Structure 1
């Protein structure tokens, strides 16, 4: 296929204290989240000066891609648009239209499939194209990559490095704990054409990382960063609740690996490095948090590989797992959750 641009699509985040509340209002618009809850989350951002790490991480990702892609013979301009903060996706797609882009490849900074991790980004792209009008470029999203070696291997090395910092790693007293962002159970049930695709992909990524990093250790998948009303069931257990259960079972050493993330988002540096670490301290657990891929050369190489797959249908497809992925999402895949009547 002929493409003339690559588009990085991400979540976005505030870049100063004055951005925090407007950003959170963008994220929660239409969800009925009370102002006091926004104020509570805003304090997490203000703990870091009102700046989310995610935009800086996107800039670093773009710089690494600008260096790597030409070496693979991929000479395409790079664009960047966010869902919830500047640079907004609608403005970026309009700029692409003005620059004469006709067909672009989109890399979304989520490895998994669900409405919030995939389907909502497709809706964002569709809205941005509609706003740009009839001359908007066609934009094709790259496939999920939860089991690509370039995603698994950096996570595995990070787990090994975190384990090395523990004072004790007796297998009988040590546990690997993999986390990903929790979602409503109803959203997971409709992820993928056969349901449960999100949780299945997270479990598969965790299995692959654990097998590569420390096959002698037991491991669990837990969830973090729940944000919904208490009456709505979300994926459980929460990481903090699970740490309490492990301590009660005699576990004393824990490595937490945020396998649901590609870089150190705010949910990682606050929910794990602050809240989960404090829970572990109170429980007397030795706690280490494994790093995320970020701009690890293998992860950048993975993005290159995904682009080459799309440019050349005969290119070798790298996947270590067995949970199916696809290049084009089936119609009706990962529908938006129904909003409760008010």
Structure 2
């Protein structure tokens, strides 16, 4: 049995006031030569919501639920939280854990999939934080991608069904399900899964997104047309990113006579800023302009099944339970994808 003496939730982080927006974005983009004007442009997304990203409160709520579930299931691990780009910062949290006598940590990243930005970047941040602490820094094991765990899929099924039911009767039957995820450069996608992977040109990331969508649709029952789309693209226009963009695709669907779309943010764990702005503001406005009915499903987020999934994963890593996977898709043989 593997021994751990603490659990750590690692997330992206976000500002919680207008004065924190630009400093937060500077943290996110440090070393990437992003023009100041671009930061100001993205900052406007946050200012629409008072400068407050939902993600930190979502993490607090998730931590409370995890702590309660651990207690109910007899898991005696203290629970900590550290972010990559805003307080509480990961390095500060690991320093506190070191002071508390923590030596070996089981960590969960708030990302269900395997690619550089959703997996390897977390591992690199953990390594930097440990290096900054020097000798006796806590060892950290990062829990595997969980895109096909029942605790991730079942809430999406429930939320997708609720969004379909919210459409008017005349739109529901012909509605298209659009499973939306954060786009990444095609070069990053091709590298996901490690050297010699067998996942195809979109790598493990694209394959896992398609598989998660299939698992949701399979459990919905009925005949639902669906596809994976991408959002939140950034970077220079000359650099190819995964497509189709959700807004472009909705314009095409409207021209094809599709009456409505239900957008399922299956690429995300919670309804954070890229869901609240890119889907609830931008994509909804596109749907309005082209005459598409539009509903957006909730993410897995705080669903009780998701919380139970975290407990299941901890029990898996401590030798108390077998892995639960709904998919037979090949596992990443090396989730440390090249940058």
Q: TM-score, normalised by structure 1?
A: 0.95
The alignment status of 1:89 with 2:90, answered yes or no, reads: yes
Q: Which residue of 2 aligns with 1:340?
A: none
The alignment status of 1:333 with 2:336, answered yes or no, reads: yes
Q: Would the aligned equivalents of 1:163 and 1:169 in 2 still touch at CA under 8 Å? A: no
Residue 262 (structure 1) aligned to one of 257, 266, 269? 269
CA offsets, 1:71-104, max 9 Å, x none? Answer: 2111110110000000000010111111110101
Distance 2:28 2:188 in 1: 17
CA offsets, 1:202-252, max 9 Å, x none? Answer: 110011111112441100100000111111100001000000010011101
Structure 1 residues 214 and 285: CA distance shift in structure 2, 3 A: farther
Distance 2:6 2:315 in 1: 13
* Ranges in structure 1 where 5+ consecutive residues have no aligned partner: 337-342
Residue 225 (structure 1) aligned to one of 214, 232, 237? 232
Q: Which residue of 1 aligns with 2:155?
A: 154
Q: Which residue of 2 aligns with 1:34?
A: 35
Residue 320 (structure 1) aligned to one of 306, 326, 329? 326
Distance 2:58 2:8 in 1: 15
Deviation at 1:168, TM superposition (A): 2.9
CA offsets, 1:46-77, max 9 Å, x none? Answer: 00000000000000000000100122111110
Distance 1:81 1:41 in 2: 24
Structure 1 residues 166 and 172: CA distance shift in structure 2, 3 A: closer
Which SS does the other structure have where 1:254 is aligned? strand
Where in structure 2 are the equivalents of 1:111-260 lying within 5 Å?
111-168=112-169, 173-193=174-194, 194=197, 196-260=203-267
CA offsets, 1:21-69, max 9 Å, x none? Answer: 0000110111121111111100000000000000000000000001001
Q: Which residue of 2 aligns with 1:289?
A: 296
Deviation at 1:325, TM superposition (A): 3.3
Deviation at 1:171, TM superposition (A): 6.9
CA offsets, 1:121-174, max 9 Å, x none? Answer: 000001111111111011000011000011001001101000011113667631
Structure 1 residues 171 and 46: CA distance shift in structure 2, 3 A: closer
* Ranges in structure 2 where 5+ consecutive residues have no aligned partner: none
Q: Would the aligned equivalents of 1:190 and 1:333 in 2 still touch at CA under 8 Å? A: no
Which SS does the other structure have where 1:173 is aligned? coil
Which SS does the other structure have where 1:263 is aligned? coil
Distance 2:31 2:253 in 1: 38
Q: Which residue of 1 aligns with 2:20?
A: 19
